[in-house]
């Protein structure tokens, strides 16, 4: 669900083509621009291609953190994660990055304690 939501936002930020969109979790519509009244998608970010994206993991070998590694996002481990689970989180980031042909940067990892 997280990946689908972020993909939808990234699409709106890059090329917000008019039309109706849906997936198994969301339905939304991008209106046709009406320049005379200023109607258009106006949520493009200042940063290019987009602001940094961070996602949090809580489970052992978190799938969300694997996605962070694969997509180059900032991985976060939240404060309620027990130490044995925390030890698996960087492994998940590395695994996701390896599968996507990326090299993860451990200095980007955020751990709340």
Non-local (6+) Cβ contacts of 97 within 8 A are 69, 70, 72, 103, 104
The pLDDT of residue 96 is above 90: yes
Non-local (6+) Cβ contacts of 98 within 8 A are 69
User: What is the share, in percent, of the chain residues with pLDDT greater than 70?
Assistant: 100
- Provide the pLDDT confidence category of residue 103 given band limits of 50, 70 and 90: very high
Average pLDDT, the chain: 92
- Find the length of the chain: 113
pLDDT of residue 55: 94
Q: What is the pTM of this model?
A: 0.82
| Residues 86 and 77: beta-carbon distance below 8 Å | yes
pLDDT of residue 33: 87
What average pLDDT does the segment 37-52 reach?
A: 85
The pLDDT of residue 43 is above 80: no
What average pLDDT does the segment 32-47 reach?
A: 84
What does the pLDDT look like over 49-89, one tens digit per residue?
899 999 999 999 999 999 999 999 999 999 999 999 999 99
């Amino acid at each position: 669900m997280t990946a689908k939501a972020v993909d939808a936002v990234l699409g709106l930020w890059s090329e917000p083509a008019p039309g109706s969109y849906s997936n198994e979790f969301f339905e939304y519509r991008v209106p046709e621009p009406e320049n005379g009244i200023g109607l258009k998608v106006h949520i493009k970010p200042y940063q290019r291609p987009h602001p940094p994206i961070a996602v949090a993991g809580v489970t052992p070998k978190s799938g969300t953190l694997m996605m962070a590694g694969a997509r180059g996002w900032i991985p976060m481990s939240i404060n309620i994660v027990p130490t044995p689970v925390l030890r698996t989180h960087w492994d998940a980031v590395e695994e996701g990055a390896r599968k996507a042909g990326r090299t993860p940067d451990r200095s980007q990892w955020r751990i709340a304690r």
